Chains A and B, each alone.
Chain A
Amino acid sequence: GENVEQHPSTLSVQEGDSAVIKCTYSDSASNYFPWYKQELGKRPQLIIDIRSNVGEKKDQRIAVTLNKTAKHFSLHITETQPEDSAVYFCAATLNSGYSTLTFGKGTMLLVSP
């Protein structure tokens, strides 16, 4: 089955800095890679996703890059703000309604004012 590794487990940055979280996956058949933000005690919220037919996607301060050959993808947050503090999870799966997501272990991002 799929295995997703995520690094780092914790990341502390100053407000305004950039933050980068990296994930690798094992199953070359995976073709859908979402990123979730989870605040304490709440459900994960999709913040951005990328499919294997593109290499990069950007949405305001958030961007995701995908390298299919190396089987890794990364989340980039620019101009971080304190409200970006949360746990971020990457995931990999087949782009199908019947396929579960395999999550990375999560990255706790702390943005200090």
Chain B
Amino acid sequence: GAVVSQHPSWVICKSGTSVKIECRSLDFQATTMFWYRQFPKQSLMLMATSNEGSKATYEQGVEKDKFLINHASLTLSTLTVTSAHPEDSSFYICSARGTEAFFGQGTRLTVV
């Protein structure tokens, strides 16, 4: 079936640095991708909707200048956490919809 691949699966970075997370749809074209954040023992919270060839749509409370999203092709969306801080440490997951919703493997971000 359709697969969404996310990279890296985990990353540790220093405060103030930026981290880029990639999300690829491997065997289908994804005009729209979704980025979620999940804190420990909590549900997936939608951060933004990534639209190929246009600006992402951010959920209320999510800083678009901090979480940069680029969806340059039908198979790739990237999320860049800029000037990361410890409170940004979380599990980030992307998703794309086909006949069902497919999720990437997730990225465990730890900011030290």
Contacts and interface: CB of A to CB of B under 8 A. Distances in A.
B62 interface: no
A89 B101 CA distance: 13
B58 interface: no
A58 B49 CA distance: 32
A21 to B, nearest CB: 13
A23 to B, nearest CB: 12
Contacts of B95: 101
Contacts of A101: 34, 95, 101
A74 B42 CA distance: 20
Given A43-B105, A105-B42, A99 B100 contact: no
Given A89-B43, A97-B32, A106-B43, A43 B104 contact: yes
Contact of B100 (A46, A98, A108): A46
B101 A105 contact: no
B93 interface: yes
B100 A34 contact: yes
A36 to B, nearest CB: 8
A25 interface: no
A20 B106 CA distance: 27
B100 A106 contact: no
Contacts of B105: 42-43
B103 interface: yes
Interface of B: 30-32, 34, 41-44, 46, 49, 91, 93, 95, 97-98, 100-101, 103-106, 108
Interface of A: 34, 41-44, 46, 49, 89, 91, 93, 96-106, 108
9 tightest Cβ-Cβ pairs between the two chains A and B? A97-B97, A43-B103, A105-B43, A103-B43, A106-B43, A98-B32, A100-B34, A103-B44, A43-B106
